[in-house]
Amino acid sequence: MSGGDGNARSVEREGEEGMWSGDELHDLITIKLTRRRSVSPATLRKLSEAFNPLALIPARDDLIVQGVKASSCLLLLNGFAARYRLLRNGRRQFTEICLPGDFVNLGSLLKKRQRQGVVALTDCRAASIPHARLDRLIDADGDLVRSLWLDTLVDGAVSREWILALGAQSAKERLAWFLCELYCRLELVGRAKDCCFQLPMTQAEIADILGLSTVHVNRVVAELRREGLVEWKGALVHLKDWGGLAALAEFDKAYLESPPE
Amino acid sequence: MSGGDGNARSVEREGEEGMWSGDELHDLITIKLTRRRSVSPATLRKLSEAFNPLALIPARDDLIVQGVKASSCLLLLNGFAARYRLLRNGRRQFTEICLPGDFVNLGSLLKKRQRQGVVALTDCRAASIPHARLDRLIDADGDLVRSLWLDTLVDGAVSREWILALGAQSAKERLAWFLCELYCRLELVGRAKDCCFQLPMTQAEIADILGLSTVHVNRVVAELRREGLVEWKGALVHLKDWGGLAALAEFDKAYLESPPE
DNA sequence: CGACGTTTTGAATTGGTTCAAACTAAGTGG
DNA sequence: CCACTTAGTTTGAACCAATTCAAAACGTCG
């Protein structure tokens, strides 16, 4: 994910701020927007050229600050981030996990003020596109609006699966669900394959995703390991028994994919 | 989700099938789409005229059947409905509550197949608009797409609040959250005022929303009553102490409202 | 009335939390 | 190169919020 191994969260920071390969961004956007719907190459090019140079956000910084009015949308190129909210009782709950290729705050285009902050879980690289520019591109191409709107719809489907997990599944099932979903989403953007992926999160963070205590996450991880469902060493996760995990979680990746049309 | 028999939930079914006041639909759509963004009167008129005559759906029937490809979007005029999913362990989890004025499956326009069914909690009246017609209207008016897309975004915000409640709040806090949210959403479409509203749901259904057991919902309802926060007789709910409830749930209705620009 | 769906109450059980401490691994600086 | 530090993982034991099972009390309607 982020830079080297060793410390999974840190990334070397040469003076390359502002330098980036436009191709990388273009490719990611293409994967993202054309996986489920077609968008013309011309629009994709115009879109990817409309982004500002990339920014580096160190782990634990906020990419989006709660309650602040946005004037541009942020696309995550690299790293993990998470939308969250803090409660009076001191608990933190994540409500959305952002992966490379995700628009961190696409909604801000229409809903300027975001109620929840988004924190970088690892060092992140992100590029922003001003609302005004995006708005113009949208007006010019009906396929683009639809593709972006569809992206919002898929986010909603992800949220509903999350509600399902939190409301009706046991700790073990939730963890299995989480691993399955993350793997599928990472694979979709080429960040995972062969049932292996980097998961640069602490167990405390996973607890804040699954609505569990850190201690219990640890116990459930141990259980999945013991049963041979996963191998998990540092940040590297290997889903040894995909079928078993998916069955346990009643996971079906259809909701992440393109309509079968 | 078998056919509705004659119980407290049923509504008299005169031969008025197919009869409806276009004004009622027009008014509801206007409230719905212009509350957060402006849409031209001409578009609103064309849109409301594009709907098919209304259908009556008896309580417990599915409005949307899981996995079936939709060719039109359904607007709920009257009654309560809920998106749900059944798990192998026999549990049912609701993942979205649809109220009058809500598009039950707006997403089907872009994502034809819905993974989750939607069941009528009460007798419902709904009108549908074929995808093709809606598509044409959307192409003709950029404000309309944005307004509908914004609606999807608000749905997403609602889902995230739900995740927050399920993941990080106690049973009592969750119930308080649920009452607050429902009241605000109903008030937005003129179905509630003065902290009173009709809540035509059983405690078992509320349990399936909050991820609790029926018994525990009952106990928590009793607690809120005892503390003088709510009065609740049959389907009629009165939030006696809005401030207290909102504080308990850490509820802030901003996420349901228009962006303050 | 009798019946059924719903709400309410009680008692036992459990999945997950909390608190506390030990253990591991990876920097940091002398 | 080793002691020191800090962040994260792991283990144990007591505890609690919510569940489960069971049965009683309502209410409404045919």
Which helix (H) or strand (E) covers residue A9, if one does? none
Q: Does B2 have pLDDT greater than 60?
A: no
Give the nearest partner residue to A168 out of B91, B115, B153, using CB atoms. B91
| Stretch 82-141 of chain B: residues touching chain A, C-beta under 8 Å | 83, 85, 87-89, 91-93, 95-96, 107, 110-113, 115-116, 138-139
Q: Does A15 have pLDDT greater than 50?
A: no
Q: Does B235 have pLDDT greater than 90?
A: yes
Q: What gap in Å lies between CA A174 and CA B93, rounded to an integer?
A: 14
A78-125: pLDDT as tens digits: 999 999 999 999 999 999 999 999 999 999 999 988 889 999 999 999
Name the nearest CA neighbour of A124 among A31, A13, A29.
A13
Position A23 scores a pLDDT of: 87
Q: Are B162 and A157 in contact (CB < 8 Å)?
A: no
Cβ < 7 Å from strand C, A residues 218-247: 219, 234
Nearest CA in chain A to B254: A115
Q: Does A128 have pLDDT greater than 70?
A: yes
Residue found under tokens 């949308």? A73
- Degrees (nearest 5) of the Cα angle B15, B19, B22? 160
Position B1 scores a pLDDT of: 37
Q: Does B50 have pLDDT greater than 80?
A: yes
Residues of chain A contacting residue B104, judged by C-beta atoms under 8 Å apart: none
Q: Does A9 have pLDDT greater than 70?
A: no
Structure tokens at A242: 């995909």
Mean pLDDT of A220-234: 97
What is each CA distance from A3 to A7, A123, A191, in whole angstroms?
9, 8, 14
Position A261 scores a pLDDT of: 58
Q: Predicted confidence band at B13 (pLDDT cuts at 50, 70, 90)?
A: very low
Best mutation target, A83, A91, A98, A159, to test chain B (most B CBs within 10 A): A159
List chain A domain ranges: 22-154, 170-256
Q: Predicted confidence band at B23 (pLDDT cuts at 50, 70, 90)?
A: confident
Position A12 scores a pLDDT of: 36
What is the identity of the amino acid at B165? A
Judged by a CB distance cut-off of 8 A, whether residue B159 touches chain A is yes
Which segments of chain A does DSSP mark as H helices, in order?
A: 22-34, 41-49, 131-140, 142-168, 171-188, 203-210, 214-226, 242-249
Q: Predicted confidence band at B259 (pLDDT cuts at 50, 70, 90)?
A: low
Residues of chain A contacting residue B210, judged by C-beta atoms under 8 Å apart: 167
Q: What percent of chain A has pLDDT over 70?
A: 90
A177-225: pLDDT as tens digits: 999 999 999 999 999 999 999 999 999 999 999 999 999 999 999 999 9
Query: Cα distance from B246 to chain A (closest Cα, Å)?
Result: 13
Q: Does B7 have pLDDT greater than 60?
A: no
The 3-state DSSP class for residue B4 equals coil
Judged by a CB distance cut-off of 8 A, whether residue B144 touches chain A is no
Q: What gap in Å lies between CA B171 and CA B173, rounded to an integer?
A: 6
Is 2.40.50.90 the CATH number for A170-256? Answer: no
Position B20 scores a pLDDT of: 56
Position B163 scores a pLDDT of: 98
List the A4 CA – D1 C1' distance (angstroms). 25
- Which architecture does CATH list for B22-154? Sandwich (2.60)
Contact A90, A21 (CB under 8 A): no
B86-119: pLDDT as tens digits: 999 999 999 999 999 999 999 999 998 888 999 9
Q: Predicted confidence band at A135 (pLDDT cuts at 50, 70, 90)?
A: very high
Residues of chain B contacting residue A169, judged by C-beta atoms under 8 Å apart: 87
Position A113 scores a pLDDT of: 86
pTM over 0.75: yes
A16-75: pLDDT as tens digits: 444 456 689 999 999 999 999 999 999 999 999 999 999 999 999 999 999 899 999 999
Q: Predicted confidence band at B17 (pLDDT cuts at 50, 70, 90)?
A: very low
